Amino acid sequence: MKLGEKAADFVLKGVDEKNYSLSSFSEAKVLVIIFSCNHCPYVKAYEDRMIEIQRDYQNRKVQIVAINSNDSVGYPEDSFEEMVKRSQGKGFNFPYLHDREQTVAQAYHATHTPHLFVFDSERKLTYTGKIDDNWENSALVQKRYLRDALDDLSAGKPLRLPETHAIGCTIKWKR
């Protein structure tokens, strides 16, 4: 999968009130798109790790972007207003964008929160799946899938594992 013109056309509002498109992240050598939300226990368990990964890899020009595509009518805790509160309360160091129309999640074929898509500098998909092998307890993690992918990309090596099965809550689609 390569991010094509269809994906490049998307413009999403961030919790900082700015509009973002793929071109907003053109300086990033690696772009990590994480479909996320506010209410999913899997996402909540991973948020601190997402913040740490962004901090640890920012000097390598890695950019994490979280996108909330959940239906906020059926799940009001995933509304834009709640996204702003969540981002500020957790101190997100990456953009948190609202896919209100769910078009971006559909274009990526995202299924879960969190669901990761890692793109190289040419915006070719290199890894998709989950962050690591233990969402419940970061102290028990044995396989750091996202960090391994970022390390391999940074070193110009083939990825050890290009795909894992995304786990988490399913994206809440509009009815």
Which residues does residue 112 pair with via DSSP β-bridges, in sequence order? Answer: 170
Q: Give the model confidence (pLDDT) of 24-67 as tens digits.
A: 999 999 999 999 999 999 999 999 999 999 999 999 999 999 99
For every one of its 175 residues, what pLDDT tens digit does the chain have, with 9 covering 90 and above?
555 444 556 899 999 999 999 899 999 999 999 999 999 999 999 999 999 999 999 999 999 999 999 999 999 999 999 999 999 999 999 999 999 999 999 999 999 999 999 999 999 999 999 999 999 999 999 999 999 999 999 999 999 999 999 999 999 999 8
- Write down the domain spans for the chain: 5-170
Beta strand 112-113 with 169-170 is antiparallel
Give, for 43, the enclosing helix (H) or strand (E): helix 41-57
| Cβ contact 139:171 at 8 Å | no
Q: How many CA atoms lie within 13 A of 104 on its CB side?
A: 26
- The four Cα atoms 61, 107, 34, 12 give a dihedral, to 10 degrees, of 80
Annotate 58-111 with three-state secondary structure. HHHCEEEEEEECCCCCCCHHHCHHHHHHHHHHHCCCCCEEECCCCHHHHHHCCC
What value, to the nearest 5°, has the Cα angle with vertex 84 and ends 13 and 82? 110
CATH class of 5-170: alpha beta
- The four Cα atoms 162, 61, 98, 119 give a dihedral, to 10 degrees, of -30
